[in-house]
Structure formats: C-alpha cells, structure tokens
Amino acid sequence: MASAEKAADYEDMIAQAEAAVAALRDSYREQLVSDAATLIELWSGLERGASPAEVLHEVHAIAHNVKGQGGSFGYDLVTSIGASLCDFIRSGDRTTPDGLNIVHAHIKILKMVGENDISGTGGETGERIVAKLHALTH
C-alpha cells in the first residue's frame, strides 16, 4: 500500500506542477508583450542618439530571456525568433545599417507574435517567419 500512496502523491505533485506552469503560461503572453515594448523603446533610443553597440547589448539580454522562456510556456516560435536574434547579434558587428535593419525586423516580428498571441510553432505562419529570419541572417 505504501508504494500506491507514493504513486498517488507523485501524480498529485505532477498535477500541481502542470497547473502552476499553465497559470504561468497565461501570464507569459503579458511578459512577452512587455518585453517587445521594451525592445521597441530601446530601438527608439537609436533615433535619439543612443550608441548602437549599447542598444544591441541590451537587446541581446532581453532576447536571451525571451529565447529561454518561450518554449517553457508553449511559445516555441518565440524561442526560435529569440534564438535567431541572439545568434545574429553575437555573430559579428551588427551596428551597420544592414545589421541594424535585421535586428529591427526581429523586434517587429516578436512584437507581432506577442500582440497576436501566436503560441506553439505558429503553424504555417511560424514556418514562414522562421524561414524569412533564416534568409536574413545567413
């Protein structure tokens, strides 16, 4: 009987953990929208004369968090976009006009995904987004 009780306790703990993740998933979209707004605000700093290198450093930090959290809450497309952005920023000098345009495209796409609550892989739309980002960054 003791092992049956342990199994029931184990199942109860799993159910509680799954419920906690589901509750966090609901608030993750709000966090994603907030992160996208922060990225847009950082980007607007370039128009006010902010250092592109400093802006990219801050953008990378947020993108790294977005990349890490997205998949945990069922936003695999967000993880893909965040990973693409992080990899692109880390792979060279991105302060050129072309480099900055590609970073800006990532930011606008993250904003759109958050505003439209595109979860999971995003289906066909997600596939097109990932393919476009891949083409831009390679």
* pLDDT given at position 8: 74
Using the predicted structure, report yes or no on whether residue 22 has a pLDDT greater than 80.
Answer: no
Q: Which residue has the higher pLDDT, 73 or 22?
A: 73
* pLDDT given at position 15: 86
Nearest to 105 by CA among 123, 127, 121, 89: 89
Using the predicted structure, report yes or no on whether residue 83 has a pLDDT greater than 80.
Answer: yes
Question: 3: pLDDT confidence band, cut at 50, 70 and 90?
Answer: confident
Using the predicted structure, report yes or no on whether residue 1 has a pLDDT greater than 90.
Answer: no
DSSP 63-93: HHHHHHHHGGGT-HHHHHHHHHHHHHHHTS-
Of 3-17, 25-39, 110-124, the poorest mean pLDDT is in 3-17
Using the predicted structure, report yes or no on whether residue 26 has a pLDDT greater than 80.
Answer: no
Domain boundaries defined on the chain: 28-137
Q: How far apart are alpha carbons 36 and 85 in whole angstroms?
A: 13
Q: How far apart are alpha carbons 31 and 78 in whole angstroms?
A: 12
> What class has domain 28-137?
mainly alpha
Q: How far apart are alpha carbons 28 and 36 in whole angstroms?
A: 12
